[in-house]
Amino acid sequence: MILEMTVIMMVMMMVMVMLLASRYVKVPPNQAMVVYGHVFPGGKRMMILTGGGKFILPIIEKFAFLNIGTRTFKKSLPEVKTKDDQLLALDIEISYAIESTEESLENAAEMLLDRSEEDIQSIVETCLEGKVRGICIAFTSTKIVREKEGVRAEIIKRMNDDLGSLGLMVEDIRIQEDELMKEGFEKYQQLREEMHAVKEEYGIHG
């Protein structure tokens, strides 16, 4: 009888250990684990972990993962109108991620947890196109080529102002303008220099 009870106790302990082990969830690299289902310390409705792991309480707690790694895609924007009524063809490569601050992680958990990667990229694409077209219409085509880094920085700033409420952050943007546009700009610069030389030769001012 004592032996049987001992065996039963050992089996129960093994089952308990296996149950606890199955409820321990590790956070994968480049992921944040969002645990929800009850009120956590501090009155928060969720707990967000970016490393380590946690025992998930049966029935009470549920969890999901957020991708916090860098994501990259390319976007071609034809017929981007400028201030001088030129139409540019721009190829843009953009890198973005969920920002690692506590506030940004909470925003992302609230707004993006149930969205697919395709949905999130679509949000970023829409924001990118709107900001690029909005900025380019305020500058001439020559200025966009000449001050490409400044234009790039302004696009990133404006996008982050909008995407920050979703917990997203644009890390980098690379802009490649159409070769015909570059060629046209170079010819324009050459023509200006030639006109300046002629004015200097004949003493023409203005």
- CATH number of the domain that 101 lies in? 3.30.479.30
Domain assignment of residue 33, yes or no? yes
CB 46 within 8 A of CB 32: no
Domain assignment of residue 205, yes or no? no
Domain assignment of residue 147, yes or no? yes
One domain, residues 98 and 120: yes
Q: How many domains would you assign to the chain?
A: 2
One domain, residues 55 and 156: no
One domain, residues 97 and 116: yes
- The reported pTM is 0.76
One domain, residues 75 and 62: no
Domain assignment of residue 193, yes or no? no
One domain, residues 80 and 124: yes
One domain, residues 181 and 105: yes
Domain assignment of residue 112, yes or no? yes
List the pLDDT tens digit at each of the 206 positions of the chain. 665 666 566 656 665 656 666 678 899 999 999 999 999 888 889 999 999 988 888 889 999 999 999 999 999 998 899 998 888 889 999 999 999 999 999 999 999 999 999 999 999 999 999 999 999 999 988 888 888 899 999 999 999 999 999 999 999 999 886 544 555 555 555 655 656 665 666 666 55
Q: Which of 31, 135, 125 is CA-nearest to residue 73?
A: 125
The whole-angstrom separation of Cα 96 and Cα 196 is: 45
One domain, residues 32 and 93: no
One domain, residues 26 and 125: no
pLDDT score, position 190: 60
Report DSSP letters for 78-108, one per residue. Answer: EEEE-TTS-EEEEEEEEEEEE--SHHHHHHH
Instruction: Give me the domain span that covers residue 150.
Output: 71-188
One domain, residues 86 and 167: yes
Domain assignment of residue 15, yes or no? yes
